[in-house]
Structure 1
Amino acid sequence: MATGWAGDGAVQDQIDATVKDAIKRARSQLRQGPGLEHCEECDAAIPEARRKAVPGVRLCVACQDAHDREEAGAGGYNRRGSKDSQLR
């Protein structure tokens, strides 16, 4: 496939780099150790089942959901720079 100045496999290299970045970011956000008994944002009790299921949990379900929604809005960028992604 002709890609101009890009070498063979350049697109796959970009895809691989994007996946590696996402894995690295996800792993850096994982917590370890015992979880908190009360949410550090709203001070609501965190159920024992949640503390067992999520090691190092620091937020209740409601606060974690709000935090996840904020993080989703701060998505990455398109390395290929396609026109469709720039129009959104």
Structure 2
Amino acid sequence: MTPPPDTRSLRVVWIVAVVLTLIAAIETSAVTGRPLIVGVALIVVTLVKIALVMAEYMEIRHAPVWLRAGAMTWIVATAVVLLSSVVWT
């Protein structure tokens, strides 16, 4: 059985996710004429937020190794697909 979630760490992850969202919003409005840079940066920020949510809110960090590896593999595969679609279009 997994231990109950630490509310302090959940708050920290939530704050980090909000800050990353704000950075992404500022970045998209500040960088004009460079859609490749904006697209790649937004995908990277989004994938970091996904990793944080999976680790803390979905409690993947307490899961068996095979499940953590599967979650990280999914994030990396998604990153490859999304980044390749942005770079090669």
Query: What TM-score does the superposition give when structure 1 sets the normalisation length?
Result: 0.38
- Structure number with the higher helix fraction is 2
State the structure with bigger RCO (CA 8 A, min sep 6), 1 or 2. 2
User: Larger C-alpha radius of gyration, 1 or 2?
Assistant: 1
